[in-house]
Each structure stands twice: as structure tokens, then as C-alpha cells.
Chains A and B, each alone.
Chain A
Amino acid sequence: MRMDRRHHILVCTFFIWVLLLTGCATEHRFVKKVAFKDKNKVVMTFAGPVDETWAKDVANYSVYEKQDPDILLKITDIALSPDKRTVTLTFEDALNQDQAHILTVTEMMSAGRSQGTAILTVKKLYFGYLFSILIGAMIINNFVFTKYLGLCVFFGTSQKKTTAVGMGITFTIVIVFASMMSWFLYQFVLKPYHLDFLQVVVFIGLVSLSVQAVDTILRKVNPALFKAFGVYLVLVIANCIIIAVPLILADNEYNAWESLMLSLGAGTGFLIALFLMSSVREKLELANVPPTFRGLPIAFVVAGLFALAFLGFSGMSIF
């Protein structure tokens, strides 16, 4: 049992490192780090001190957005840190930090010796980007409160906290499973053979299939868990989020990691929405609601208030 856990932690740390490394490594041994700063700055950290006369010469740097190699961005100021290891380039206009920038540094001079020319890619941390997809799908663009999807199941299962949590967890598991399968099939079968128009049929088929698979596996592996969550499995398929997520993945051409994050975010977002709603509805049971509003109508008004609150997150960006 202990071995198992250690193994688990090892795998997790490994994946986190892989993610972090993909974001940090630069293409040249002498340049340790290169990153955006503020709105219009790029900071480079070198492995050793660089010569001031070389560092201050604008002609040694050229920067362009990856898809516009013919348009060089204008550098207005170069600052060298006192230890001569960090160079900050300031640009005339704000940089479009969602795009990767290519920075070419010619003949880096360190202590009178040339370290060669470096072609570097400046981009946001990939890990940060993945995290922003997760948080985006979970809260900022919550599928229930800002995209208005999955409402039937949402109103049907948000009467009690226990039901809400059960439904949310089951849904998250199934959606991750189904989205990853749909992503795989879309990228490797539908797209290469120009069968895009079969999207709807294939995705709904895969969703039914994964619901069935989770049902069978759970029944065999953990009957106790099946007893608790089995009833929600049937409802999962009636939730339009589960078909919306694969469609969004196909539309945006996400890769495997991004797809995983979006589906995970969509699932947990649904769980959060259900939990919030059920907390309110449990209290509503005790309130004195006019008879015509009792039940669904008042639930809709409450959901509207939540949606207004979530509108406040709209457009927020993390990283």
C-alpha cells in the first residue's frame, strides 16, 4: 500500500516537471531564461555576465511575432542589471503576449568572448496556459451559468446537496473519459479522412459508449460505489454539456493536454454549479415562497442571480 502511494506521487511529480520544463527551457545554452514582463518588456537572463557595449546595442537584437517574420518590433530601451546577467528590452508598443515571439540575439559577448547567436522563442508558460483553460472552463466561462448548457439535468438534480455532489462527480468522470475518446477519434480518424460532418453521430455514440463502459466497470470493480452513483449515469447522457465539450474541442483544434484541461474544467464547473445551487435550494425549502413560484420558477430566478454574479468573472484572465 505504501509502495503504491509513493509510486503515485512519483508519477505526479514527473508530469508536473514535464509540464514546467516545456514552459521554461530555452534553445541556447548561454541563455537561461527568457520571458515577457509587464505589457511591453522582454527579460533575458544569461548564464554569465555579458559585455555592456554589446548588450546596449540595439542592432544585436531582433524580435518579431512568430507568424509575422517580416515585421520587426521596435526596441526603445535596453536595460542591463548591475550584475550584468539580466537584459530587459522595452518595446514601443504593447506586445501581444498570446502569440509566441521569436527573439534573435546575435554574437552574445561575454568577457570578450563570443557565445554565438541565439534564436529564442518567447512565450507564456505553457503550464499557465493549461491552468487558464481549466479555470476558464470551471469558473470564468462556467458551462451552466455563462453558456446555459446542461440545464435540464442541472435543475433536476440540484434539490439536495448529496444528489448534487453525486451527480457532479459522476459527470466529471464520464465527461473526461468521453471527451478524450472523442478528441482522439476526431483528430486521428474524422479529420484526416474529411468526415467532419459525422461529428454529431460519432460523438453521441462515443458518449453512450463511455456511459455504458463506466457503468459496467463500476458494477464489477466497486459495487458499493455503483450503488451510490449508478443512478446518475443514465442522466449523464441527457446533459448537453457532454456533447458540447467534444464539439468545442474539435472546433478549437486543442491538443491532448488542453482537451484534458477543458473537459476536467467543464466537469468540475458543473459540480460547482450544482453544489452552489443545491445549497440555496435546500434553504429555499424553508422559505415562504408564493405558491405559483414554488419549485422550478423560483429555481430559475435563483439561477439567474447566480448567472449575474458569474457575469462578473467574464473576460477575466489569469496568467
Chain B
Amino acid sequence: MKQILRITIGLTISCLIAGSIMGLVFTITAKAKKHNEHLNVQETMLALLGYTKANPAPSDLRFHSVYRYIIEDGEAKYIGYMVPVKKGATEGYELVVINLAGKFVEKLEVPISPEAAIEEGERETALKTVLRHPKTFTYADTTIIARLGDKQLAYLLPGEFPGFKTFISVMLALDPNFKILGLEIMEHEEDPGLGAEIEQEYFKNQFKGKSFEKVKRLKVIKEPLPDKYKRYLETKKWKKGMFSEQEIESIRSKYQDHDIYALTGATISSRSVTNGVKNIIKKFAYRMGKLNKVIASQHIAVTF
């Protein structure tokens, strides 16, 4: 009996100590984790827009986030866009509700600050105060709009689609005419040496500069990547004087409307990235058209 008591007490004490150590570390790291993740995304966004350490972003570059929600009210479904708006001198958020055909339904003020809006949980509690009981809502996606001074610079779209093995998550940068400015592979689990090559510059940079019209018909071709084009795509390996201005221009115009060259031994991965990018852009262009019309007709003072 005494034995059992000793064992139980010993185990309880060790469990308590272990639990408190883990809890302590968790509370310390949770904040840093969020901060670093945010920083990582921010860096990727800047890199996609062409800003690096050597060429830092101008101080009047601003990012504005639009959050899309699917709202259900019984049988009826609506799309809600949480857009940042000007409220006097400060910024606030409004929920613009649009029906499935793209017609404006209502406009609701969301009591949330721009800093708090980054957190999904905070948005949810704020939205619950404006969308009352029978209405339910689910988070769909985020679009980030980059603005330089008084002109729109780019749309940044995080997205995810099935790859060869599991999911591939990407970040796309589009200019206001939906031309691709850049593609970054954020996460994937493709085979190293084969499908994992999608994160190499000579693959992902092929998407750069493709116009919206081209993207709609974008295909993957199984041809070897021309050597000169490959060297052109690997911008990180460029040395001074490797390409003259004219050469860059000629290669760019030659391949601008070209399809995507498949990776050797990873045609399926190449194809899933191409189709995934194509779908993201097509859906986004369709939605943005509808949203912009509503914003213009309702005179919503959006910040982007």
C-alpha cells in the first residue's frame, strides 16, 4: 500500500513539473511563433513585388487585407467581403454582403481594429456581433492588396491546391490587370529531386509576366527547357553583364506567351501547379470584378 502511494505521488509530481515546463515554454513561444510567421509572409510578399534588401520597399507601400466569408441564412447563401474602409482619419472594417449573382445586399459595420483583424479568432467574434443567430458564416480566403502612394500596385493571393502527393500552398502576385507578377511556393511535400523542383526558380519564374488572357489557356508542355531561357529564369544566379538589356527584352517577349515547360520526371506536379494557379486566378478575377462594381455603385470608401 505504501509502495503504491509513493508511486502515485511520484508520478503526479513529475507530471505536474513536466506540465508546467511545457506550459511555460508554450506561453513564451506562442507570441514569437505568430510574429515570425507573420514576418515570413510579409517577406515573401515583398520579394514577390520585387523588393529585396538591396532594393528596399518605399515607405508609402501599404498592404490592405480583404477577407472573404460565405454567409448562410437558411437555404440562401451570400458572399461577405470584409473590406478595410476609411473612417475619418482612422481605418475600420465593413462587411459588404453580395448575393450569388453579384448584386449588393447590405453593408454592415464591423467593430474591429485593423491590428486585431489579422487574427481569425478576433474577426470571428467581431462578425458574430453583426451577423446574428440564424445566419452562419465560414471563412473562405484572404486577398492582400498592395498600394503604393495613391495607385494600386498588386493583388497578393495565398492559395492551396492538391499536388502530386499532398497539398501545395502558394502565394501569387497579380497586377491590377491580373497579369502574374510572381509565384512563390510556400509549402509542399513533393518528392525531393523530382516534384520538389517546383520551388526552383527555373520552374516558378516561368509564370512571371503571363497575361490574364494567356493564363486562361495555360498548358504544360513536355519539351526540354531551352538552356538560354533557363539561365534567364534563374535570376538569383545572374552575374553582371550576363545578359544585355536587349537580350533580356528579346527573351522576355519570346517566351511571354509560351506554355509552361514541365519538370523532368515530374509532369504531374508541374501540371497541378499550373492548373492550381490557373484556377486561383480565374476565380479571383471573376470575384474581384463583381466586388469592384459593388464598391463603385455603393460608394464604399475603401482604403485600397
**A residues bordering B, Cβ < 8 Å?**
67-71, 96, 98, 141, 197-198, 201, 311, 314-315
Contacts and interface: CB of A to CB of B under 8 A. Distances in A.
Contacts, number: 32
A208 B79 CA distance: 49
Given A69-B77, A71-B286, A315-B268, A98 B22 contact: no
Interface residues of B, number: 21
Interface of B: 18-19, 22, 26, 70, 77, 79, 98, 100, 102, 140, 162, 164-165, 191, 268, 279, 283, 286-287, 290
B125 to A, nearest CB: 15
Given A69-B70, A70-B79, A315-B165, A201 B22 contact: yes
A224 B118 CA distance: 61
A197 B102 contact: no
Given A71-B286, A198-B19, A311-B191, 13 more contacts: A67-B70, A68-B283, A69-B70, A69-B77, A69-B79, A69-B100, A71-B287, A141-B165, A197-B26, A198-B22, A201-B18, A201-B22, A314-B164
B22 A70 contact: no
A311 B290 CA distance: 46
Contacts of B102: 70
Interface centre among A141, A197, A315 (most CB of B within 10 A): A315
A70 B287 contact: yes
Nearest to A200: B22
Nearest to B163: A315
B163 to A, nearest CB: 9
Nearest to B141: A67
B276 to A, nearest CB: 10
Given A98-B162, A201-B18, A315-B164, A67 B140 contact: yes
A315 B287 CA distance: 33
A201 B21 CA distance: 12
A197 B22 contact: yes
B31 to A, nearest CB: 14
A68 B165 CA distance: 24
A287 to B, nearest CB: 31
B283 A71 contact: yes
Contacts of A70: 79, 98, 100, 102, 287, 290
B291 to A, nearest CB: 10
A96 B280 CA distance: 13
Contacts of A67: 70, 140
A252 to B, nearest CB: 9
Contacts of A311: 191
8 contacts: A69-B79, A70-B102, A71-B283, A198-B22, A311-B191, A314-B165, A315-B165, A315-B268
